[in-house]
Structure 1
């Protein structure tokens, strides 16, 4: 191990956005935990209020600031860290470290760069330079050339020939490629790319649209020992961004020759660039001509490494942290959550299939172009795990639909003309259109030609339809029910096809012992003796999951990221799990988001990757017999049905809509309070604003600033009114009373549960974890002493601002006044002009 490193500055990922969600923060937590085991002090800069990693370091090591070169420079000069780690912060962290290297800040302060050598860092995020290096290595790359002016772009594109791909050089945001079929498309793309590039440059490259996209995730130690963790196969071809594609692990349509060639190339790239830790390499595979291209080199944590880690059970982030410090793979010791006994030098083997399904924001941003292209639109994703591709596909699809009754949306409304159009120019509902086309009798070879999707997957879709027809043809048949469940059909889906109620399906299953068996997710595919804490269901003979404890809390996750609650919901879940463990419970969670921090083994005792639907939840309950089930407040149907079965349900986070009582649809002031049966505790008084100042509706209130600018008299009147109101209208939990100022007086505007984003703000501003307080309240642990000891100062003058962030730039729609339902993330700042300027 590198014994000269005692203090490391980790660059965080900043606010959640399209291109990264909670996977960067989850990886950062695991890295910090690894460093802590080695006695290394971790410093962290991030301004994401939903960061679990910020909660994992001491306050003196926490820098809640924007991730900029200037801020990082100041921290380096003041704290003098021994090393800096950019690989947990995504594209922005890489860009900052490139600038620190170019300006000499790292050299002047003797700061080591971890994970990526200095000479390799200079080419990352520069498509032309990285292609030049790959070409020198005699690796196949796409013809490309950089341009700095529109005239150069027109000339280069004309020489290469349309269609072309445009990429910004050293992008400030994770935008990737833009496909251009015409000169007009190219001019528009280059104009955007110049703005997104740190150097005002773009790369024009040859289009390879239609080829198969394959990703390889590997790790490498300082001695050059390398392992391939997983291959990832995009069902959609090149031309649809991998973040918008259905992705499968392991690769299912590659020959062994193709697989080994891409594996060898991944290792060759790692050696030539001398990377340490995680590597994620993208390829375009032309199986018809036995050729391939290297399309992207990502030597840092991202959604691909998060997916590979989840599907294999291999702790990529934790192991990478050890490798950054020159620990050899043979010497890495795993934490307690990983109980398999084989050497870390064994490449993972999978005995299950995982499918990742994207989730898009178009319902909340309807003006965005919904066509899938080389620019990413998805804000989240869900995964399904099963013994077969069919089971994994259906589980992922059921999870992404978010239907309370576990039914899939039908596209039978489409005309044949619309079907053809959507096959050629796909929209977000792509997989449903593919299934509908097969249902109408389109041939697989026709569909393959139109979509460039491998016929293997159409065979799987076709088999799903065959099972669907079998279900329809034999209602109430237990043998058919077993087959339906085996291939991923949920109880709600079967009930709809049989035209019976949900409980009838459950009764038939129970009477004929058609119960799920749970299989562990670990890297050996049961080839070696091992134990795991992560499970998925199928319907076979051997069950590997038994009741964890008689004192268990079951926590239902939020599934895939969406606009609105977004990353704040996963932050809430992780803090719930911490408190439940502290309160003495064993914790079990169900989630389907491979990026979720709440799936970390260090935070929960047992994990199920299952659709968060009624039937799947009841199956887990039958195994675990939890003392309490925590259900998110937005899952009304699930809550109602679980309670109807006399199960011990607690709703956290609280329902954010149904418990609001509003007098006006606008407000300027918010007072947050923690309320119990005996106590009313004022926490914070904030000014509420939109990005453009005063808001005309509550949905525009996306900025919170404290201290409020109210007068002392207004302040006192608000506190007095709030106390009296809650005495007359009892509530419990965290609530926010809203006020407007009219003619100098504070007028009551309504009451609502404190929003999840606001709860994160309260945590950071007060230093009290209010999520944990809500959990303790639900468990009956709040007492007089606890309330009396709360270190609150509601009249504090400490300046703090929380501001919602929006996906408009990534979705390529005009900047506008964003609504709370359109927030993709948020940023927080304390007492600096940069972060507290409401007009920024």
Structure 2
């Protein structure tokens, strides 16, 4: 409504230039911000940012001219306020960034936006970046041809699109004007949330169609698509009320995974074990989410999670001709399903899955890319339990794993995807399915827990990590060891390991304890775990819990007698004894592992370090091999 009133009153923003050269000489790389002034007068264009030569797809470069605002304001009397934006006649592609870095949407998406800006320049387009974060590479002075520091809202982005287009958008002719396309797939959830409004205003969104982007996030539409393709999902339902949630959970059976729709980073996602927990969750969620539905899925316990990234060049229109998809990478999570994918370490290629299973995952991904008519990138998350593949989630956009996959394979997937969105085909780019690399790459995450003393570090479906690192070598154990060292975790080759696991894990921890014992590490355990290990023939020293008197585990950690902790939680929260021990481990820089899968991988890495040590090679050497 406000926008329509503004348009009727001819109230339009002007764009002011921030001089990056402090007026010493003409700035060739300025950036812009918007403001509102009474009159409107466009400066003559001059050589500077946005000037340059390049061959466009389907047209030649043209001379720069001054473009009128789509709704120019009448000149005011006796005033000289100006619009300082420098425009050319070159065709433009606008990339919408991710905005402020926060948990769930960070620098991984900025990486994709930067590569898209470079790719558009290679194709002869003028690359335009809209972002509101000065701390990112996408807002560096030389990343794009035009840079706007603006809020990522529908109004502000549409204002820029209209200004750069040179005339109002025609909803029936999306290609008219200078703006040839807007990329929303690379900046995370923020630009995706703007896509529908921009599309309805006539702005040409390039890449996968808006309808398919929304279909992947709409549970009912997506369920129909999954059935059509012939894939399997965990039992699930959609609730809009507490009563509806209770009914669905009773039909599916606890535990269930509950979450709002259309969120990134697992925000407000929770594993619920009983009706009391569900009632508490829904009472908060219904207030916060309003009319947005709550998604409820059967939680697959002890399942292996897998991420698959792919690129495709299907036409958004069913009648648009043939296309194909190419798998970028298949990543096996080291932590089991239930921990957010952004918080889980992962290996590329998979370190424990059979070739047949990996091939099935690839085939399923190809089917989904074709069904969604993906043009650009797509990420699919699967869970594998009892040799069955369950589809968890599909995102027809860039995922946070794309930078990792690019470094692991040596292929600039984000750049290729941007060029595909702009009209290139995979054949033209020479992109084809690659065999698994001979080396192994392991992505590990970095957490901010050392900055928040007293916080319980237990992971779950809501993302908590703030960074990631990568280890690479010719075997999984060496690559995992490097990833831990890069993340700041020490892998002790001598000393003591404290083990305390919940009842469900006591059977499986025996094998892991034996693994550490064979490495010459001393095993220290609390009562229940100690008894299980002794019964299995593993030498273990019993230690008191916090409530059992002193000396106890707290004293051992403070005195430097513990080099590593393996603790799968019985109780969560910073006030519990377990939570205090975990927090103490972080404060004293003792490596702590809270899943058996991570403990098993660390055991392999320690044995490998003891036997071979580790070496460093240039990344390029791995890609040559």
Which band: TM-score by shorter chain?
Answer: 0.5 to 0.7
Sort the Cα spacing of 1:411 and 1:97 in 2 relative to 1 into closer, same or farther, 3 A. Answer: farther
Q: For each residue in 1:419-474, what CA deviation from the matched residue of structure 2 results, as whole angstroms up to 9, or x when unmatched?
A: 447968xxxxxx999969985676899x9x9999898x877544444456xx5xxx
Partner of 1:304: 401
1:106 equivalent to 2:199? Answer yes
- Residue 82 of structure 1, aligned match among 180, 188, 192: 180
Instruction: Report the CA distance between 1:56 and its aligned residue.
Output: 5.0
- Residue 364 of structure 1, aligned match among 430, 451, 454: 451
Q: State how far apart, in whole Å, the 1-side matches of 2:493 and 2:270 are.
A: 30
Is the 1:11–1:46 contact (alpha carbons within 8 Å) kept by the matching residues of 2? yes
Q: Secondary structure at the match of 2:105?
A: coil
Sort the Cα spacing of 1:45 and 1:410 in 2 relative to 1 into closer, same or farther, 3 A. Answer: farther
Q: Which runs of 5+ in 1 are unaligned?
A: 333-342, 425-430, 472-482, 489-515, 527-840
- Residue 379 of structure 2, aligned match among 265, 272, 280: 280
- Superposed counterparts of 1:171-250, under 5 Å: 171=263, 174-175=266-267, 177-194=269-286, 197=289, 199-222=291-314, 223-250=322-349
Q: State how far apart, in whole Å, the 2-side matches of 1:357 and 1:434 are.
A: 22
Is the 2:138–2:144 contact (alpha carbons within 8 Å) kept by the matching residues of 1? no
Q: State how far apart, in whole Å, the 2-side matches of 1:242 and 1:440 are.
A: 33
Partner of 1:716: none
Q: For each residue in 1:615-634, what CA deviation from the matched residue of structure 2 results, as whole angstroms up to 9, or x when unmatched?
A: xxxxxxxxxxxxxxxxxxxx
Is the 1:47–1:67 contact (alpha carbons within 8 Å) kept by the matching residues of 2? yes
- Residue 470 of structure 2, aligned match among 383, 389, 407: 383
Q: Secondary structure at the match of 1:113?
A: coil
Q: State how far apart, in whole Å, the 2-side matches of 1:363 and 1:411 are.
A: 23
Q: State how far apart, in whole Å, the 1-side matches of 2:454 and 2:283 are.
A: 21
Instruction: Report the CA distance between 1:124 and its aligned residue.
Output: 3.2
Instruction: Report the CA distance between 1:117 and its aligned residue.
Output: 1.1
Is the 1:354–1:392 contact (alpha carbons within 8 Å) kept by the matching residues of 2? yes
Q: State how far apart, in whole Å, the 2-side matches of 1:146 and 1:68 are.
A: 28
- Superposed counterparts of 1:79-158, under 5 Å: 79-80=164-165, 81-98=179-196, 100=197, 105-109=198-202, 111-158=203-250
Instruction: Report the CA distance between 1:77 and its aligned residue.
Output: 3.3
Sort the Cα spacing of 1:162 and 1:411 in 2 relative to 1 into closer, same or farther, 3 A. Answer: farther
Q: State how far apart, in whole Å, the 2-side matches of 1:241 and 1:322 are.
A: 30
Sort the Cα spacing of 1:467 and 1:277 in 2 relative to 1 into closer, same or farther, 3 A. Answer: closer
Partner of 2:169: none
Q: State how far apart, in whole Å, the 1-side matches of 2:594 and 2:361 are.
A: 21
Q: For each residue in 1:350-409, what CA deviation from the matched residue of structure 2 results, as whole angstroms up to 9, or x when unmatched?
A: 11111122221222123544211111111112111111111111111111117xxx7759
Question: Could you say which structure has the greater relative contact order, defined with CA pairs below 8 angstroms and 6 or more residues apart?
Answer: 1
Q: For each residue in 1:123-171, what CA deviation from the matched residue of structure 2 results, as whole angstroms up to 9, or x when unmatched?
A: 2333443233212322111222211222222222222221111121122
Q: State how far apart, in whole Å, the 1-side matches of 2:617 and 2:613 are.
A: 11
Sort the Cα spacing of 1:89 and 1:356 in 2 relative to 1 into closer, same or farther, 3 A. Answer: same
- Residue 95 of structure 2, aligned match among 10, 32, 51: 10
Partner of 2:133: 48
Q: State how far apart, in whole Å, the 2-side matches of 1:253 and 1:381 are.
A: 22
Partner of 1:485: 613
- Residue 39 of structure 1, aligned match among 124, 129, 143: 124
RMSD: 3.7
- Residue 313 of structure 1, aligned match among 410, 414, 421: 410
Instruction: Report the CA distance between 1:2 and its aligned residue.
Output: 6.3
Partner of 2:39: none
Q: Secondary structure at the match of 1:236?
A: strand
Instruction: Report the CA distance between 1:296 and its aligned residue.
Output: 1.1
**TM-score of the superposed pair, with normalisation by structure 1:** 0.49
Q: Secondary structure at the match of 1:153?
A: helix
Q: For each residue in 1:157-187, what CA deviation from the matched residue of structure 2 results, as whole angstroms up to 9, or x when unmatched?
A: 2222211111211227652742111223223
Is the 2:94–2:128 contact (alpha carbons within 8 Å) kept by the matching residues of 1? yes
Partner of 2:261: 169
Q: For each residue in 1:46-85, what CA deviation from the matched residue of structure 2 results, as whole angstroms up to 9, or x when unmatched?
A: 1111121122568983221222223223323333333221
Instruction: Report the CA distance between 1:10 and its aligned residue.
Output: 1.4
Partner of 2:319: none
Partner of 2:425: 328
In the alignment of these two chains, the number of paired residues is 453
Sort the Cα spacing of 1:300 and 1:172 in 2 relative to 1 into closer, same or farther, 3 A. Answer: closer
Is the 2:492–2:606 contact (alpha carbons within 8 Å) kept by the matching residues of 1? no
- Superposed counterparts of 1:722-801, under 5 Å: none
Q: State how far apart, in whole Å, the 2-side matches of 1:395 and 1:202 are.
A: 40
Q: For each residue in 1:769-825, what CA deviation from the matched residue of structure 2 results, as whole angstroms up to 9, or x when unmatched?
A: xxxxxxxxxxxxxxxxxxxxxxxxxxxxxxxxxxxxxxxxxxxxxxxxxxxxxxxxx
Q: Which runs of 5+ in 2 are unaligned?
A: 1-55, 60-89, 166-178, 315-321, 507-511, 524-532, 539-565, 570-592
Q: State how far apart, in whole Å, the 2-side matches of 1:113 and 1:228 are.
A: 24
1:67 equivalent to 2:152? Answer yes
Q: For each residue in 1:478-509, what CA deviation from the matched residue of structure 2 results, as whole angstroms up to 9, or x when unmatched?
A: xxxxx4324x6xxxxxxxxxxxxxxxxxxxxx
Sort the Cα spacing of 1:50 and 1:436 in 2 relative to 1 into closer, same or farther, 3 A. Answer: farther
Is the 2:131–2:149 contact (alpha carbons within 8 Å) kept by the matching residues of 1? yes
Is the 1:91–1:174 contact (alpha carbons within 8 Å) kept by the matching residues of 2? no
Is the 1:211–1:452 contact (alpha carbons within 8 Å) kept by the matching residues of 2? no
1:293 equivalent to 2:387? Answer no
**TM-score of the superposed pair, with normalisation by structure 2:** 0.65
Q: For each residue in 1:680-732, what CA deviation from the matched residue of structure 2 results, as whole angstroms up to 9, or x when unmatched?
A: xxxxxxxxxxxxxxxxxxxxxxxxxxxxxxxxxxxxxxxxxxxxxxxxxxxxx
Q: State how far apart, in whole Å, the 2-side matches of 1:452 and 1:369 are.
A: 11
Sort the Cα spacing of 1:319 and 1:86 in 2 relative to 1 into closer, same or farther, 3 A. Answer: same
Q: Secondary structure at the match of 1:186?
A: helix
- Residue 271 of structure 1, aligned match among 370, 387, 399: 370
Is the 1:278–1:305 contact (alpha carbons within 8 Å) kept by the matching residues of 2? no
Q: State how far apart, in whole Å, the 2-side matches of 1:42 and 1:521 are.
A: 33
Q: State how far apart, in whole Å, the 2-side matches of 1:71 and 1:432 are.
A: 58
Q: State how far apart, in whole Å, the 2-side matches of 1:349 and 1:434 are.
A: 29
Instruction: Report the CA distance between 1:228 and its aligned residue.
Output: 1.2
- Superposed counterparts of 1:798-813, under 5 Å: none
Q: State how far apart, in whole Å, the 1-side matches of 2:94 and 2:493 are.
A: 47
Sort the Cα spacing of 1:440 and 1:375 in 2 relative to 1 into closer, same or farther, 3 A. Answer: farther
Is the 2:342–2:465 contact (alpha carbons within 8 Å) kept by the matching residues of 1? yes
Sort the Cα spacing of 1:83 and 1:517 in 2 relative to 1 into closer, same or farther, 3 A. Answer: closer
